Amino acid sequence: MTARPDTFPFNSDQSAALLRRVDKQWDDEIVPQLIDYVKLPAKSPSFETDWKRAGQIQLAIEQAQKFVAAQPVKNMTLEIITLEGRTPVLFFDIPGTGTKANGKTVLLYGHLDKQPEMAGWRDDSGPWTPLVEDGKLYGRGSADDGYAVFATLAAVIALDAENISRPRCLGLIETCEESGSFDLPPYLDALAPRMGDVGLVVALDSGAGSYDELWATTSLRGLVNGTMTVRMLTEGVHSGDAGGAVPSTFRIARQLLDRIDDSATGMTRSPVFSAPIPEERVMQAAQAATILGDVVWKRFPWQSCGGAHEFTLPTTKDPVELILNRTWRAALSITGADGLPSTKDAGNVLRPYTALKLSLRIPPTVDGAEAAAEVKRLVENNTPYNADVTFSGGGSSGWNAPAFAPWLTVALDAASMHYFGKPAAYMGEGGTIPFMGMLGEKFPHAQMLVTGVLGPKSNAHGPNEFLHIAYAKKVTAATALVISAV
């Protein structure tokens, strides 16, 4: 039997008061801030190479700085730090209060850079055109991850307003996460001596299986990201002349892709892309599957005549296997292409080259650099027809959470029970947050709370990304309770 909220180490009246304060600050301040933030096309450096000239990242971090500076937090220090040639970070330091003032440090993480626009947005909205409708804020970056700096600070403010003792809290808000956080390590090296004994890292940049309980992320897949280019000619040639004599670069690309995964099943072929799944993660997947059921696959916007429930999935409908597929097994996607004219502009020409953007998600414990080297070896060696093939890109390792300390497990269940009436749920996520691996190496003894608001249909990185406001409020209040439990 699940324990009642009042049997957990939080006062029910205080937890309710925290939510009331958080709810008010979200309505009065945070939602208006996020509406302004959505309007900023603060694209990550990988998508806006001249980001400094564009100035949008600077505007985003200055907006966050202004908000943080205006908050009623005692003795807080705040600064924008910019290392030469790097995207900036926002860093704030808030001393602890009460009996926990001299204990562990809590590191609060977020990012302000965004994914590019993508096509397919609603006519009345857009990536930089915020829309609030049915309790959701639509717009690029609202849920991934612009809300984090506002939410984590609101959690601290609510604790202080209710005189609940808490540890020292540091905020580290970067602007390079959507590019793989390649600018972050120098900042971690520079700031680590100032961070003290980090006991908990809080990252609100992950997913939620549903909007009905608090979700803790237990693992994140890694990523090999790069471009495979196949060349056969120096220029295009009439297909009626060369077709049948000169191999199509697209056909060669198809053969090379089949070296990476099986086109019929999607299963990767090389053992380098596989890893044993820990038994604990299998058990957590089973728990999540019990909660979610068919939502695991029905959450996606399937294109079919009769809806997703009327056709056969290409893999399985078993929710446990689907969860493991998207969290602990490799999967290849083609996310972009060059050398292919649009259909309306395409003539009868055998094209000289085909370039495909490969996105290979890899298990959390697979080394990203080794996986990238394996992709390069697979496509560049012994190419069909001696085609000129190159792969340029790199790999980011995933993250597997350290064992949850008993205090953190109790705190997560308590927070979820108070605000959702259900214990916390645990599940891996299929995306990649390189920051978590970096922090894990820098602070190997710290506990990690990775959670977020990217629930069903929230569509991070895609069109019509939205933030579920009511859920975000509860996640904010739950984060406050967990911070107070450190």
What local confidence, expressed as pLDDT, does residue 2 receive? 44
What local confidence, expressed as pLDDT, does residue 141 receive? 97
Q: What is the pLDDT of residues 67-108, one digit of tens each?
A: 999 999 999 999 999 999 999 999 999 999 999 988 899 999
CATH (residue range 222-396): 3.30.70.360
* d(C-alpha 317, C-alpha 297), whole Å: 7
Asked if the model's pLDDT at residue 135 lies above 70, the reply is: yes
Axis crossing angle, helix 56-69 with helix 31-38, rounded to the nearest 10: 170
Phi, psi of 18 (to 5 degrees): -60, -45
Within a 10 A sphere around the Cβ of 5, how many other Cβ atoms?
19
Asked if the model's pLDDT at residue 448 lies above 70, the reply is: yes
| pLDDT tier, 8 (very low <50, low <70, confident <90, very high otherwise) | low
* d(C-alpha 341, C-alpha 323), whole Å: 37
| pLDDT tier, 1 (very low <50, low <70, confident <90, very high otherwise) | very low
Asked if the model's pLDDT at residue 473 lies above 60, the reply is: yes
CA distances from 215 to 344, 416, 460 (A): 46, 9, 17
What local confidence, expressed as pLDDT, does residue 357 receive? 97
**DSSP strand E in 193-276: where?**
198-203, 215-220, 222-231, 237-238
- Indicate the SS3 state at residue 87: coil
Q: What is the pLDDT of residues 107-122, one digit of tens each?
A: 999 999 999 999 999 9
CATH 3.30.70.360 range(s) for the chain read 222-396
Work out the end-to-end distance of the chain between its first and last CA atoms, rounded to an integer number of angstroms: 26
Task: Report the predicted TM-score, pTM, of the whole model to 2 decimal places.
Answer: 0.88
Answer for the pair 400, 219: CB distance below 8 angstroms, yes or no.
yes
What local confidence, expressed as pLDDT, does residue 81 receive? 98
What local confidence, expressed as pLDDT, does residue 5 receive? 46
DSSP 124-186: T-BTTB-EEETTEEESTTIIIIIHHHHHHHHHHHHHHHTT--B-EEEEEEES-GGGTSTTHHH
- Tokens at residue 328, please? 């602990």
Can you name the residues that pair with 238 across neighbouring β-strands?
Answer: 349
Q: What is the pLDDT of residues 140-178, one digit of tens each?
A: 999 999 999 999 999 999 999 999 999 999 999 999 999
CATH 3.40.630.10 range(s) for the chain read 5-220+398-485
Per-residue pLDDT, averaged over 381-395, amounts to 97
What local confidence, expressed as pLDDT, does residue 436 receive? 86
What local confidence, expressed as pLDDT, does residue 6 receive? 46
| pLDDT tier, 206 (very low <50, low <70, confident <90, very high otherwise) | very high
Distance of CA 179 to the CA centre of its chain: 11
Q: Which CATH class is domain 5-220+398-485?
A: alpha beta
What local confidence, expressed as pLDDT, does residue 316 receive? 80
What local confidence, expressed as pLDDT, does residue 314 receive? 59
Asked if the model's pLDDT at residue 313 lies above 60, the reply is: no
Q: What is the pLDDT of residues 413-439, one digit of tens each?
A: 999 999 999 999 999 999 888 888 888
